[in-house]
Amino acid sequence: MARKISFSKALNEAMIQEMERDENVFILGEDVAKMGGDFGITSGIWDRWPNRAFDTALSESAITGLSCGASVCGLRPVAELMFADFITVCYDQLVNNAAKLNYMYQGEASAQMVVRAVTGGGIRCAYHHSQCIEPWLMNIPGLVIVAPATPYEAKGLLVASIRNNNPVVFLEHKHLYNIKGEVPEELYEIPLYEAHVEREGTDITIVAAMSMLKFAQKAADEMAAKGISVEIVNPRTIFPLDKETIKESVAKTGRLIVVQEGPKVMGYGAEIGAMLGEELFEYLKAPIKRVTSLDTPVPFAPGMEDYVLPHYEDVITACNEVMAY
């Protein structure tokens, strides 16, 4: 049996092992070198490679701009944004430069860079540190958005992201950092662009990523006790989506619930729902349901934050609603 380590340790191990394997890999960001990052994810790297771990100025635009330029020169930067919300500060560098390079130069130049970004709510970080930002980026061809849900995925997907020749926004939900799971010591990749069927079922498909996966798993257990079989699909890569795996699942079950933490309007649940409405309408036995947060900024007050974010009970309600048809 593989040893169990935390989500954060799995990320740290992925970077260390990739830096051992490839001298072109380096890290940069605010306090990522000597301090080891605001969440400790890059701890110990500067001690081993002081010339490949760089503390930067308080400038997300500079971090992503430097990463883009270094990529063109053949390096593989792994940049950290302290919070994903700050991606707005470097939006131009990311979407108008990095995302377009491969296309503009027909593959002769590309931005093979990873932007690690801490995402999500639930720990009382308030309005500017708690958002789910993937919808802001899903309309940008050339970007890849990766969203691990377990320590095993954290390591394998980060390794694959570092080796990928496209700019990758690697989302790390802060609620997951301390969870533990089985992770092999050896270096391994989990392929990007491929969803994973976490649990097979016949009555309902639930698509859930990152911290929402635990809601789906708990709901599947509760519904199983009632004789209802739930299939769970974990996208792993949110953009580009593995549409075929989702379509195959819904064609089998005829019912879909998408659980996403962010607001409902224009989230990836909306994209999945639109896709299935266009391509799989005749298979649907019930309306598609989305379980999301409310369309409001994430509050600081604990009671209000809990009210705004989606709950496990919301998933159960959605399951009961789709089974009523």
Residue 43 burial by Cβ neighbours in a 10 Å radius (0-12, 13-18, 19+): middle
Q: What is the CATH number of domain 196-323?
A: 3.40.50.920
Question: What is the pLDDT at residue 126?
Answer: 82
Q: Which is catalytic among the residues 129, 173, 175, 311? A: 129
Question: What is the pLDDT at residue 124?
Answer: 85
Distance from C-alpha of 56 to C-alpha of 29, rounded to nearest angstrom: 5
Written as tens digits, the pLDDT of the chain (325 aa) is 579 999 999 999 999 999 999 999 999 999 999 999 999 999 999 999 999 999 999 999 999 999 999 999 999 999 999 999 999 999 999 999 999 999 999 888 899 999 999 999 877 888 888 899 999 999 999 999 999 999 999 999 999 999 999 999 999 999 999 999 999 999 999 999 999 999 999 999 999 999 999 999 999 999 999 999 999 999 999 999 999 999 999 999 999 999 999 999 999 999 999 999 999 999 999 999 999 999 999 999 989 999 999 999 999 999 999 999 8
Q: Where are the domains of the chain?
A: 4-182, 196-323
Identify which of 146, 191, 193, 144 has the alpha carbon closest to the alpha carbon of residue 172. 146
Question: What is the pLDDT at residue 1?
Answer: 59
Tell me, yes or no, if the two domains 4-182 and 196-323 fold the same way. Answer: yes
CATH number 3.40.50.970 given to 4-182:
yes
Distance from C-alpha of 71 to C-alpha of 112, rounded to nearest angstrom: 6
128 is catalytic: no
What is 79-112 written as a DSSP string? EEESSGGGGGGGHHIIIIIIHHHHHHTTTSS---
